Structure 1
Amino acid sequence: MKRGRIAFQGAIHQVTQAADGRVQLADGRLLNEAEVEWLPPVVPGAVFALGLNYADHAKELAFKAPEVPLAFLKGPNTIVGHRAQTRRPADATYMHYECELAVVIGKTGKNLSKAEAMDIVAGYTVANDYAIRDYLENYYRPNLRVKNRDGCTPLGPWLVDAADVPNPMSLKLTTRVNGKTTQQGTTSDMIFDIATLIEYLSSFMTLNPGDIILTGTPEGLADVKAGDVIETEVEGVCCLINTIVDDQTYFATV
């Protein structure tokens, strides 16, 4: 099942995807996805991001692949929904997308083994974790300005139940900029798979329902400009759409 959250007619609704692809409210009403304001499919708890978790991406950036997961935290202010706008600051000279499989935790877990790890996964969604190269100090230690800007990480639109994604480690990732494919990869190329990431994180902190793990992005990054429409898609999960805007447009709407 695909579940989501929207704002519609002054209220927040839990919704599902109907057979024809439309948005279905709990009372059975059907809406087109462009009619609603999309929220992240879950209320985010702790949000973990992974750097350099695809070997081809690390090579693309001329960095050695990490020997342990390169994880860092993101604040709740970073997360926005499907069809939201993300700001490209006027001083940015290179801003790129990052198509990522997002893992949503459904049960509390601590000190889990790899064999136990997948039991606490509620499901999967799609993230686009934008980065601005100008602000980067060190790929091994991304600073707050790179990964914690307001609205820099669209998420959604759907949370797909874990049972409906039998092999999350064999999913195709695709990014399109204004309809042109610019990035392709597969989750099978992750350096640290999902179970390993959960084992690692739960070894030193408790994972709770609503926590989200952004699992990294493959090679194929490209600069995006104001006006660009970015589609990030994970096979069998969903397609997330986002628009880049300039400072004037962004601050006129917040």
Structure 2
Amino acid sequence: MAQFVRPGDYTPAEAMVIYSARELKNFDGKMGLIGIGLPLLATQVAKKLYCPNMIMIVETGQADANPIEIPISIMDSRLTYGSSWQMGDPEGLFPLVRGEIDFGFIGGAQIDKYGNVNSTFIGSDYNKPAKRLAGTAGAVDIGGFAKTTITTMHHQKRRVVEKVDYLTTPGWMVKKWPEGTWVRREELGLPGGPSCFISTLGIMRYDDETKIMYVDQYFPGVTVQQIKENTGFDIDVSRATEAEPILVEELRVLREEADPLNIYRTR
């Protein structure tokens, strides 16, 4: 009989990682381009529990990466250990434009109701930002050309917003250049699109017609009111159901196998 963990015996960040790993169940044998940080950690949990044949590519050119320790950056040589090949950034991103990447998995600093992601700067002026962030790396390529994109980040009102301060990674509504008007991504010939946003509070998906984010599942111990209070727009909670509880084995694998050194401070 499956054993469950009670809410309060794990952190919101651990919940985010574990539910993200569950989302990857359908990608066994598929190829994903994975961002560094919590997406990489969730991928490692998923490979150990649910999809051992998932092929993980990192933008810096590691194919079929399977690090025995969680790396701290995309330049960490631990990413190379166990990989099928090590090339460079172009080779890491070329499979995207060839249509070979089944899913992309990224983090960011902000996400808006259409799934657009900002990882560039916070503020209203690009030249005088309130805070400069890490930048795009491969996030724009992933969001533009993967067959689908999964996003994860902490759920806070300043992060889950009506409109991102800067559009780094395209979601469902993007700016058309040079006019600056917002159009559906397919009008620009972009394939794919975001499928879900997994936060520290729940799992959000996008309406088939409007492409606006709604709450699909809230985590045990979380209420839909908490999600509304921590979202920067009036998010639809009418379709929300409670997620299945976290398993003891899922938490054990995360803590003892995937990240025993707690590199990403999830606990």
Instruction: Judge same fold: TM > 0.5, yes or no.
Output: no
Higher strand share: 1
Q: Which is bigger in relative contact order (C-alpha 8 A, separation at least 6)?
A: 1
